[in-house]
């Protein structure tokens, strides 16, 4: 019981400001936005080229980068979440620019839902408790990927790249192809890198700082 109380106290402190603490967006946040977008470009491009099955990849870990970026860096991570696929899709050839632009709301959702959930439920990005794991897997990986798959397939149908009769098959392929690597990769990165990020100046307790 005592250990539970300690854990609860430490998880809530991740998002709560210290007494007198003032946090303002700074140039480091712009830099981390650019650097994180760079990581996303590499991860997204490699993922798309690794096991391509048409417009979706059987292994696209980019969604994990979208979610964890938004968890750690709030709005900056959310911007990165929709910015890097514009470039990585172009470089990998998995989607042309107009299609990538239409993906933006889906990509934004794939990033921002996890950020909202972790802040709302005061979950620790280092995944210390079972509650943190549940929030991460359900609201950081499964729900965002479900929304992303539905939106993305809608875009493909709207662009005439997939017939509406094939929409359900595409949604399922998209959802599974993104969710599994997101859970595996995202869990490892959150578990091992979050302690470093939480100590850095770039970490955002709020949305912009």
Residue 97 interacting with another protein (CB under 8 A): yes
**Could you give the CA distance from residue 170 to residue 8 in angstroms, rounded to a whole number?**
41
Q: Residue from 170, 171, 178, 204 that binds another protein (CB under 8 A)?
A: 170
Residue 197 interacting with another protein (CB under 8 A): yes
Q: Residue from 172, 176, 201, 208 that binds another protein (CB under 8 A)?
A: 201
Are 114 and 64 contacting, i.e. CB atoms less than 8 angstroms apart? no
Which residues from 3-32 bind another protein, rule CB under 8 A?
Answer: 25-28, 30-32
At 56, which helix (H) or strand (E)? strand 56-57
Residue 176 interacting with another protein (CB under 8 A): no
Q: Residue from 185, 204, 208, 209 that binds another protein (CB under 8 A)?
A: 185
3-state secondary structure 128-188: CCHHHHHHHHHHHHHHHHHHHHHHHHHHHHHCCCCCHHHHHHHHHHHHHHHHHHHHHHHHH
Smallest gap, in angstroms, from Cβ of residue 44 to another protein? 10
At 33, which helix (H) or strand (E)? helix 27-50
Smallest gap, in angstroms, from Cβ of residue 167 to another protein? 8
Residue 9 or 140 with smaller CB distance to another protein: 140
Residue 50 or 131 with smaller CB distance to another protein: 50
Phi-psi region of 20 (alpha: psi -120 to 50; beta: other; left: phi over 0): left
- DSSP-assigned letters across all residues of 86-139: HHHHHHHTSS-HHHHHHHHHHHHHHHHHHHHHHHHTT--TT--SHHHHHIIIII
Residue 7 or 161 with smaller CB distance to another protein: 161
Q: Residue from 120, 134, 172, 196 that binds another protein (CB under 8 A)?
A: 196
Residue 161 interacting with another protein (CB under 8 A): yes
Binding residues for another protein, rule: CB under 8 A, are 25-28, 30-39, 41-43, 45-46, 48-50, 52-55, 59, 61, 83-84, 87, 90-94, 96-99, 159-166, 168-170, 181, 184-185, 188-189, 192-193, 196-197, 200-202
């Amino acid at each position: 019981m005592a250990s539970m109380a300690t854990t609860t106290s430490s998880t809530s402190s991740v998002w709560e400001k210290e007494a007198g603490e003032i946090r303002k967006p700074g140039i480091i946040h712009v830099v981390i936005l650019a650097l994180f977008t760079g990581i996303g470009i590499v991860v997204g491009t490699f993922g798309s080229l690794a096991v391509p099955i048409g417009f979706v990849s059987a292994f696209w870990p980019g969604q994990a980068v979208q979610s964890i970026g938004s968890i750690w860096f709030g709005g900056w991570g959310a911007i990165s979440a929709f910015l890097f696929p514009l470039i990585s899709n172009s470089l990998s050839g998995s989607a042309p620019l107009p299609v990538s632009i239409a993906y933006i709301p889906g990509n934004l959702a794939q990033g921002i839902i996890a950020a909202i959930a972790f802040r709302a439920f005061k979950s620790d990005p280092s995944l210390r408790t079972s509650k943190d794991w549940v929030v991460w897997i359900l609201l950081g990986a499964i729900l965002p990927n479900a929304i992303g798959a539905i939106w993305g397939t809608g875009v493909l149908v709207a662009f005439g790249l997939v017939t509406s009769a094939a929409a359900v098959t595409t949604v399922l392929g998209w959802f599974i192809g993104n969710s599994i690597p997101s859970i595996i990769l995202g869990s490892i990165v959150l578990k091992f890198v979050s302690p470093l990020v939480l100590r850095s100046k770039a970490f955002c307790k709020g949305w912009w700082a």
